[in-house]
Amino acid sequence: MSELFYDAAPNATRVAPERPKPRHYPEKPAAVTLFGTCVMDLFFPEAGLDAIRLLEREGIRVRYPQGQSCCGQPAWTSGYVSEARDVALSQLDLLDNGLPVVVPSGSCAGMFREHYREVFAGEPENLRRVEDLAERTYELTEFLLYVCRVQWKDLGQPTRIALHTSCAARREMNTHLHARELLEQLDQVERVDHDHESECCGFGGTFSVRMPEVSGAMVQDKTRALVDSGAAEMVTADGGCLLNINGSLEKQGQAFRGRHLASFLWQRVSGEVEA
């Protein structure tokens, strides 16, 4: 099987541009499992369907196990280790099918790839399964770019967008880099850099519930920067951030809104007009 390998810049004396972590990428598979995430399932089901449409457009059969739920991240980051393990184990059993796992959320993909090793520390058999799952897990834009190797024609009208990537997705999956590279294929789309682009929106899972005043101040900064950016809309690959940012914008009475990157991409490559 032929592979692509994205390695670090060879000249360490220079400041290298940001690029994804080194990783081997296989040929495009015939089928994948989509892990839809609990937030997408509850609040943005159309984005989940758009993710499926994007994959099917590339000739890939999409398996969507009905028993999937949460990746376990909220419980894990809140310190509920036993509860997180129970949730994680059920997902590990569900995804133990050998297929690539595509996740339209960098933070959930990062939970599979990075934190399941901590969840199952000291359990050799489950750790073996975790390592296998980690190698098969891809965030959606990463998979489209480096496994499907898409080359898209932009069928949409000219627009300016601002990109938001969750803290965990940036740190663990380099999702901001994948999204930027994919958006560059769309010649009618101008990505606008904005203040606070790399900063947290204030959601942080249960952080927004436990520290609402701090969370509220953070999302105020984020939304102010987005509105002032001159973009027509914000796109993001993380449902939790989208829920938080749009909720704040609505409360402020702003017309500006965000939507999931999967839906934005599907509109651009399918030529469908947003309802």
Q: What pLDDT shows up at residue 173? A: 85
Q: Band of the pLDDT at 11, cuts 50, 70, 90?
A: very low
| pLDDT tens digit sequence for 212-271 | 788 888 899 999 999 999 999 999 999 989 999 999 999 999 999 999 999 999 999 998
Q: So where are the chain's domains?
A: 30-146, 159-270
Nearest C-alpha neighbor of 101 from the set 148, 33, 27, 30: 33
pLDDT at 205 over 60: yes
Token readout for 73 is: 């991240």
Do 30-146 and 159-270 have matching folds?
A: yes
Q: What pLDDT shows up at residue 177? A: 92
Distances (CA, A) of 222 to 14, 172, 244: 32, 21, 10
Q: Band of the pLDDT at 194, cuts 50, 70, 90?
A: confident
Q: Band of the pLDDT at 14, cuts 50, 70, 90?
A: very low
> How is domain 159-270 classified at the architecture level of CATH?
3-Layer(aba) Sandwich (3.40)
| pLDDT tens digit sequence for 92-128 | 999 999 999 999 998 899 999 999 999 999 999 999 9
CA 20/CA 17 separation, integer angstroms: 10
The CATH fold of domain 30-146: Rossmann fold (3.40.50)
